[in-house]
Structure 1
């Protein structure tokens, strides 16, 4: 019984950590703490969604290893936070949070079964659908939290904090740097690559003459953070992968924003999907090269 409780607790906190691709319970604990610091209501929504995602995975009898690694909690958690971010709370919003969390977990289960890397796409798809449904008159009132942006002037160091914070819809620099710390204690090189990715996205945004206020609050950088973390590694070409995906994500982000789309983390997912075949070829070439070297020896 004690082992089951411990496994469930780790799965719960890892669900938050997996939002930034970290299967680390301590990282997840820092993440949910930062969310509650910024917005207790968002924290409550995140907890409810995470638990719903895990419960759905248990009911579907998904692999215990996947559940323990928090793979059914992170899309659900993002979804719950997103709805509280975009709408004033009411009964319809909370019902949608539960139903959407179930659906996101189900989509994740299918993706894992098919071995398809969906990343945060279940969260994106369910959120887009919910934004449309809840926009029906008298169902829910759209809103943007006042705490979303807390800087008034350009400061690239503060933008780093906002970029990490915006990944999970948090606007304070404090929450953003707690997120950075959470990634750093789990995987230092991933945190540093995420930090560097923001610098690249800031440069691209300035070069494209984008709105300074949008640059300030990390709008063009939070997808870059995820690219930096996802592509991080010890090899030189890992750095090249980070650069390529950040460029792709930033330009997709700009295109979608100017087109009036709710971007969420879709630019990050697009960048990952576009680089997937290239990484597959890379692994194939390396494997072939290692085989040839072994034969020569």
Structure 2
């Protein structure tokens, strides 16, 4: 059986096997690592399988088919995004294998998701020059090592290794490298279609994708692994958009899903805990408050923006409150 830890309060400091209907997260305290998958449809090499699961773990799904949908959505947004994600996840997974980290963690993709996000964020912000690709490799390796620190200590690292590496590399690259084109994928021209796509656009923005179909593919990637997570994530994306509208934030940014993606991740992270519905609500509220505060103040703009930090901080605070409440 796959070892797991429950970061939501019970058995926090030890790992165990699944019992009954209890929900566990990955050994890094954040990612489900034993999502059922249709093994009979297609077989991959162990390394490719781990890389694909690493891509799936970006959406908190340890499922190779989630990774396939996510990779398709990235390539749809631009070849550089798909290539950067593959390179980042591949470097993170390869480093973990070479350093002989726990095989179950490596195969679950736990060393690929933050590394992949580092790759995508760099080619999103900057022209894909050789220097940028070199830093994708360095940044992915660094993110994987930081992830290992969290995994070893059983702490919920979530995507914080990615956030930390990005905050260091983005200011550095601004000095030496030209920014990427700021062209934004067109939104649907129909008002009704634009409103409906807000939900899935929130999924797309998790990995810096503004193309509406990329968001749909990411949503399907979560759906194939966990329908519950996909649906609550969709609701969270709409909730973030509604809150942004109430705060009179720019409508084009709302429709693009830029105020929903952190809530999507937070909701997915807590979705499989039906016995703690209050945790989902608390986590999403904290996440949205942090995101709006950071967006409005612009405190983190010199470092590349808030990225997924509101999700990370909101989840940390929710887990802390949950544990305190059990004492």
Contact 1:7 1:68 in 2 (8 A): yes
Q: How far apart are 1:278 and its partner, in Å? A: 2.6
Q: Does 1:275 align with 2:318?
A: yes
d(CA) in 2 for partners of 1:236, 1:201: 24
Counterpart among 248, 260, 263 of residue 286 in structure 2: 248
Displacement after TM superposition at 1:192 (Å): 0.6
Deviation at 1:244, TM superposition (A): 1.8
Aligned to 2:307: 264
The CA RMSD over aligned residues, in Å, is 1.8
- Find the residue that maps to 1:119 and give its secondary structure: coil
Verify the 8 A CA contact 1:151 1:216 in the aligned structure 2. no
Equivalent in the alignment of 2:206: 167
- Point out which structure has higher relative CO (alpha carbons under 8 A, 6+ apart): 2
Taking the TM superposition and a 5 Å limit, the aligned residue runs for 1:76-225 are: 76-136=115-175, 139-151=176-188, 155-225=194-264
Tell me, yes or no, if structure 1 residue 13 matches structure 2 residue 52.
Answer: yes
- Structure 2 residues not aligned, in runs of 5+: 1-42
Q: Deviations over 1:84-113 (max 9, x none)?
A: 000011121111100000100000111100
Q: Summarize the Cα distance change of 1:75–1:222 in structure 2 as closer, same or farther, 3 Å threshold.
A: same
Measure, in 2, the Cα distance between the counterparts of 1:279 and 1:65: 28
**1:38 Cα shift?**
1.4
- Any idea what SS the aligned residue of 2:174 has? coil
Could you tell me whether the CA contact under 8 Å between 1:151 and 1:217 is conserved in 2? no
- Could you tell me the TM-score, scaled by structure 1's length? 0.89
Structure 1, unaligned runs of 5 or more: 286-297
**SS class of match (1:134):** helix
Deviations 1:100-152 (A, max 9, x none): 0010000011110011111000000001100111111xx21123442445346
Query: Is this contact kept in 2: 1:49–1:101, CA < 8 A?
Result: yes
- The residue number in structure 2 matching 1:290 is none
Q: 1:211 to 1:280 in 2, by over 3 A?
A: same
Matched-pair contact (CA < 8 Å) for 1:164–1:180: yes
SS state at 1:135 partner: helix
The number of equivalent residue pairs is 278
The structure in which a higher percent of residues are helix is 1
